[in-house]
Amino acid sequence: MINQRDLRPKDMGRSDDQLIKLDNLMPLLAPFDKPGMEPPLTDPKPAWKEKYCTSLDGYVGIDTLTRPKSKEDEDEFVRKFLSGLEKIFSDANNGVLQPLLLSFEYCAKCNTCSDACHIYTATGDNELYRPIYRSEVLRKILKKYFTTSGKLLGGFVGADIDVNWETIARLGELAYRCNLCRRCAQTCPLGLDNAILTKEIRKIFSQEMGIAPTPLHTKGTMLQIKTGSSTGLSKPAFLDTLEFLEEDTEEKFGIKLKFPVDKKGADILVLHNAGEFMAWPENPVAFAILFDAAGLNWTLSSEIMGYDSVNYGLWYDDTQAKKIAMMQMKVAKDFGVNRVVVAECGHAHKASMISSDRMASDRIPVESCFPLLWDMVKSKRLILDPSKNNFPVTLHDPCNVVRQMGIVEPQRSILKAIAPQFREMTPHGVDNYCCGGGSGFAIMNSANFPEFRTQVASRMKFNQILGAFKGTMENTSLPKYICAPCSNCKGAMRGILEHYDATEKFNLQYGGIVELMVNALVSMKKPFLEFLE
């Protein structure tokens, strides 16, 4: 093991059992600053060390990346990676070639990006997580094998890395220690983007080597392409779920709710992250209550690919992303709606409006739910009583929606109108920090990865939350609500609150924005938010 202060990019090929060990995390704010408030980090189990690549930092992000059985397997693994590395600069990768080459060529190594990274900061400035560390390893490998200057001049131009199974496997793992939040790219004086390089590493692993975390690939995009949803929810099960939710809503709130499904002539097709129906069903219920109250002509779809907005391909595999985006767009077109509205799911926002925007022509317009919801509040189509939400509320900005799409104000305008004790996190808006669940982390639960997510990747966000609620934390009779209007972000929040037992100890609650809106509806006879009962 190397002291992280001495770690250099060329050390990735060293034969150490584990390259570094995390031991100096950024301190948490009060009340979690006292000893014993945080469980210590654990070592990987011996069985994991034998089976997976724990030789980076002890964590396992890619559960399909298993150790080779023979020297031939090792060589084949390296050969495949190099073949994929060559392909990212070929016409097979036209869709990102220009941005990739720019970020690859021009890094001046000024190191301005490091302080912008929540993971680097959370680890106490650990060298392994410096944004340019990963990029530099990739550059060294490419120079060594594929550039004339690297072949002729070697170490002079930086082509000084040993490439073996360990180097490549560690690099694959390291690509899953970045949330692809692109906060570092905002600070780069040259406009370069380390997240592009990180994602290219993930793509080489998936598109060339067939290696990707099971929750993203086999139980993610593959399952979605096969069944229509990454949850595995089939059409009959989806319809049953809606029926159950209608009955449940009537029973709980006395509201006769009817989800419109496959309604002909509807203006809007609403796309939810199907995970909401399983984990947070109150969210699609709240959407239905609000859309009905505002008199919108909307529908859900029960068609395969029509009831799940997710597109995990965005995080690791362009070919999967394209397949899913095209199938989803086809559903909308076949349906004949005027527009698609994406509900509270950050990456689905980006997938359907940004990433797939230039995949095909003649698209049905897609819009975010936030401007629409704000319009309903602003135009007073909803009769709201903000005093019903008279408890501290803070807003988490999903990176995909805010930094990567520029949807910043509508959601905070809503909160300012319906939550008297709304307070911002520091920083917020386009300068926000990732929740730690971005780019698939929220659903990656194999081996010890959840520990990395909650204690490292989400650490900065947890401190932001604690900072926003400073002075109210000790009052346990007062609920404190983290509004995280994104399914993945909610997954990360759930992970944080459970890990630190923060709901039980400090009455820290989380949820989306529509739940708060419904809670404020004058017509609601009882609180919509369960923790208020």
Partner 1 sequence: MILSIIAYLSIVLFVGISVYKAYQFANMPFHGRMDLYPVPKEKGYEHGGSYYEEIAWWSKPHEVSHVREIIEMLKEIIFIKKLFENQRPFWWISYALHLGIYLLMAWTILLVIGAMFELNGIIVAANSSSIWGLLLFYVSLVTGYLGLAFGALGSGLLFLRRLFDNTLKKYTTPQEYFNLLLIFAALMTGILTWSRDLSFGFAREVTGNLVTFTPFAADGLLTLHVILVGIMLIYIPISKMSHYVGKYFTFHKVLWDNNPNLKGSDIEQQVIKASSFRPTTSWSAPHIKPPAAPEK
Q: Minimum distance between the CB of residue 383 and partner 1, rounded to whole angstroms?
A: 20
Q: 282 or 397, CB closer to partner 1?
A: 397
Q: 355 or 389, CB closer to partner 1?
A: 355
Q: 466 or 486, CB closer to partner 1?
A: 486
Q: Determine the Cα–Cα distance for residues 452 and 439; give it in Å rounded to an integer.
A: 14
Q: 141 or 402, CB closer to partner 1?
A: 402
DSSP bridge pairs for 341: 270, 367
Instruction: Find the binding residues for partner 1 in span 151-170 (CB under 8 A).
Output: 153, 155-158
Q: 135 or 448, CB closer to partner 1?
A: 135
Residue of 132, 274, 289, 460 that binds partner 1 (CB under 8 A): 132
Residue of 38, 57, 63, 136 that binds partner 1 (CB under 8 A): 136
Residue of 39, 210, 336, 427 that binds partner 1 (CB under 8 A): 210
Kindly state whether residue 416 participates in binding partner 1, applying the rule CB under 8 A.
no
User: Which of the ranges 182-190, 388-396, 476-484, 510-518 carries the binding residues for partner 1, by CB under 8 A?
Assistant: 182-190
Q: 42 or 338, CB closer to partner 1?
A: 338
Token pair in block for residue 428: 């917020």
Residue of 23, 33, 50, 105 that binds partner 1 (CB under 8 A): 105
Instruction: Find the binding residues for partner 1 in span 379-408 (CB under 8 A).
Output: 402-408
Residue of 68, 232, 371, 420 that binds partner 1 (CB under 8 A): 371
Q: 190 or 383, CB closer to partner 1?
A: 190
Q: Determine the Cα–Cα distance for residues 43 and 21; give it in Å rounded to an integer.
A: 9
Kindly state whether residue 126 participates in binding partner 1, applying the rule CB under 8 A.
no
Q: Determine the Cα–Cα distance for residues 426 and 249; give it in Å rounded to an integer.
A: 36
Q: Determine the Cα–Cα distance for residues 406 and 489; give it in Å rounded to an integer.
A: 17
Are the C-beta atoms of residues 340 and 269 closer than 8 Å to each other?
Answer: yes
Q: 185 or 289, CB closer to partner 1?
A: 185
**Which residue matches tokens 């997710």?**
310
Kindly state whether residue 127 participates in binding partner 1, applying the rule CB under 8 A.
yes
Q: 87 or 505, CB closer to partner 1?
A: 87
Q: Minimum distance between the CB of residue 370 and partner 1, rounded to whole angstroms?
A: 8
Kindly state whether residue 90 participates in binding partner 1, applying the rule CB under 8 A.
yes
Residue of 26, 41, 97, 304 that binds partner 1 (CB under 8 A): 97
Instruction: Find the binding residues for partner 1 in span 9-48 (CB under 8 A).
Output: 9
Q: How many residues bind partner 1 (CB under 8 A)?
A: 89
Token pair in block for residue 306: 């029509």
Q: Determine the Cα–Cα distance for residues 27 and 463; give it in Å rounded to an integer.
A: 9
Token pair in block for residue 90: 């070929």
Residue of 386, 429, 467, 527 that binds partner 1 (CB under 8 A): 429
* Other Cβ atoms closer than 10 A to 28: 18
Q: Determine the Cα–Cα distance for residues 10 and 22; give it in Å rounded to an integer.
A: 20
Strand order, beta sheet including 268-271:
298-299, 268-271, 339-342, 366-368
Closest to 443 measured CA to CA, from 428, 431, 453, 429: 453
- For residue 31, cis peptide bond before it (omega within 30 degrees of 0): yes
Residue 339 parent element (H or E): strand 339-342
**Which residue matches tokens 């964590």?**
59
Q: Determine the Cα–Cα distance for residues 100 and 88; give it in Å rounded to an integer.
A: 9
Residue of 193, 276, 282, 303 that binds partner 1 (CB under 8 A): 193
* Other Cβ atoms closer than 10 A to 416: 14
Q: Determine the Cα–Cα distance for residues 190 and 235; give it in Å rounded to an integer.
A: 48
Q: Minimum distance between the CB of residue 187 and partner 1, rounded to whole angstroms?
A: 4
Residue 435's contacts (CB-CB under 8 Å, 6 or more residues apart) are 396, 398, 442, 458, 461, 484, 486, 488, 489, 492, 493
Instruction: Find the binding residues for partner 1 in span 314-353 (CB under 8 A).
Output: 319-320, 339, 353
Alpha helix stretches (DSSP H) within 123-164: 131-146, 148-153
Angle at 479 between CA 473 and CA 482, to 5 degrees: 85
What's at 176, amino acid-wise? Y
Dihedral of the alpha carbons of 180, 186, 187, 191, in degrees to the nearest 10:
100
Kindly state whether residue 66 participates in binding partner 1, applying the rule CB under 8 A.
no
Q: Minimum distance between the CB of residue 282 and partner 1, rounded to whole angstroms?
A: 25
Q: Minimum distance between the CB of residue 368 and partner 1, rounded to whole angstroms?
A: 6
Q: Determine the Cα–Cα distance for residues 374 and 35; give it in Å rounded to an integer.
A: 43
Kindly state whether residue 189 participates in binding partner 1, applying the rule CB under 8 A.
yes
Kindly state whether residue 362 participates in binding partner 1, applying the rule CB under 8 A.
yes
Q: 199 or 272, CB closer to partner 1?
A: 199
Q: 135 or 241, CB closer to partner 1?
A: 135
Residue of 19, 53, 168, 209 that binds partner 1 (CB under 8 A): 209
Residue of 2, 26, 37, 102 that binds partner 1 (CB under 8 A): 102
Instruction: Find the binding residues for partner 1 in span 270-299 (CB under 8 A).
Output: none
Q: Determine the Cα–Cα distance for residues 527 and 282; give it in Å rounded to an integer.
A: 12
Residue of 12, 142, 196, 345 that binds partner 1 (CB under 8 A): 196
Kindly state whether residue 219 participates in binding partner 1, applying the rule CB under 8 A.
no
